Structure 1
């Protein structure tokens, strides 16, 4: 059986981290997961205590999603890597789907999960539907959907770049350029991600803002400039001064 190293980047992720860790228990019990690596960017909220309390391997370094993912992968020992956000948990049964994918992909096809938010309602359902449709048609998933990839293939692609923003877009672009559209496969089970930042800013406003930044990135605007715009405080429905939204944005990767 191929074994998976799970890499979870964190920054003050204590409120959400229990969910992803609990969703991995069955895979650990089945011997599918070799290790869980929490790559922390300097949390001061008890994230490291939670990680160490469940036996995860803790790697600490400078904050930055791309750099944290790369650091976690660098120390991983599994034949496969599963990158999972700290506010995203996998639905029950994911381990069977993952094992089947690893057996059938010949180590040259990466897998991503279907997105679902942890809130009911039409707006989260529509945003998730759009993300899943974009993944199916254009092979453009985001980190919220997880990424399962063979370690050897990950290294061949060049790993995650230490970008302050769009590290997931950059990696997937290189993956598809190398192997074509068949290099990425949607897996038939959901990754359930927290909707906090969408609830705070507004679902469609958030989608529009992300789309504008993505277009700027594809036009060649440096990720450092885009990160300043992305993390800048902006008024929200729940926080009119934008401070809470800015703090959450620094902890969360860019969603769909």
Structure 2
């Protein structure tokens, strides 16, 4: 059994994936990298193969389904879920190694940083890290590190196209301790570059509110991808 399994859902991520896979190359014999692709038309799968990642093909364009498929095909004691457009520090594995020897019932996540020098993103970083640490609400783009037994015991990610991270952590928040790592994950600013970041934050909050009130994810998904 590998020590860790890193699970990355993809769809046309050829521009971003080589950077992340380079960051992850330091794990070598410590674990495995699993790319779960849902129909990329670029070189995503070729890049995954070049870097020696295991490739799983998802029959659905559904991130919750992809993450769960990756977990089912993994062998690691610890599951690390990452987005393809993120980056990690060169010493990320050394920093998390001590946590992997500790409490298997905790879920760990990285400090949130945005890979853009604009000052406005520093404000967003402060707000997100405050929300994550004090309200126990990290999201999937911050990287989630979960022990296999905890993941399986709590039925993993539901097969939903949006809010899979919110749904999973809401189910676990009262029984599992969420801990922020002393290491940052660098998020691509691409999702905010075409809009005002604070207006987008409000829109995202409204999407979550609609979902929590019971609105169908099909309707929310349609509105989310109109942008």
Q: Show structure 2 runs of 5+ residues with no match.
A: none
Residues 92-142 of structure 1, C-alpha deviations (whole Å, 9 max, x = no match)? 22112211111122x100100011111012111111211111000111111
Question: Which residue matches 2:101?
Answer: 103
TM-score by length of 2: 0.96
Quote how far apart the aligned CAs of 1:178 are. Answer: 3.1
Rounded to whole Å, the distance in 2 between the matches of 1:214 and 1:115 is 20
Q: Which moved more, 1:45-54 or 1:211-220?
A: 211-220
Question: Which residue matches 1:8?
Answer: 8
Does residue 212 of the first structure (1) align with residue 206 of the second (2)? yes
Residues 164-201 of structure 1, C-alpha deviations (whole Å, 9 max, x = no match)? 1100000111121333xxx2111011000110110112
Does the CA-based 8 Å contact 1:165-1:224 persist in structure 2?
no
Does residue 191 of the first structure (1) align with residue 182 of the second (2)? no
Displaced runs of 4 or more, over 6 A: none
TM-score by length of 1: 0.85
Equivalent positions of 1:101-140 (< 5 A) are 101-105=99-103, 107-140=104-137
Question: Which residue matches 1:247?
Answer: none
Does residue 26 of the first structure (1) align with residue 26 of the second (2)? yes
Question: Which residue matches 1:143?
Answer: 140
Does residue 230 of the first structure (1) align with residue 208 of the second (2)? no
Aligned length: 226
Q: Which moved more, 1:111-120 or 1:205-214?
A: 205-214
Please report the RMSD computed on the Cα atoms of aligned residues, expressed in angstroms. Answer: 1.4
Rounded to whole Å, the distance in 1 between the matches of 2:160 and 2:217 is 7
Equivalent positions of 1:148-159 (< 5 A) are 148-159=145-156
Rounded to whole Å, the distance in 1 between the matches of 2:152 and 2:90 is 29
Question: Which residue matches 1:51?
Answer: 48
Quote how far apart the aligned CAs of 1:63 are. Answer: 1.2
Quote how far apart the aligned CAs of 1:229 are. Answer: 1.0
More helix by share: 1
Q: Which moved more, 1:152-161 or 1:18-27?
A: 18-27
Which of these residues, 57, 65, 68, is aligned with residue 66 of structure 2? 68
Quote how far apart the aligned CAs of 1:2 are. Answer: 6.9
Rounded to whole Å, the distance in 2 between the matches of 1:22 and 1:218 is 38
Rounded to whole Å, the distance in 1 between the matches of 2:79 and 2:62 is 19
Question: Which residue matches 1:254?
Answer: none
Rounded to whole Å, the distance in 1 between the matches of 2:145 and 2:202 is 28
Does the CA-based 8 Å contact 1:82-1:146 persist in structure 2?
yes
Residues 195-239 of structure 1, C-alpha deviations (whole Å, 9 max, x = no match)? 011011221121111111112122222222211110113xxxxxx
Residues 129-159 of structure 1, C-alpha deviations (whole Å, 9 max, x = no match)? 1111100011111111001111111101111
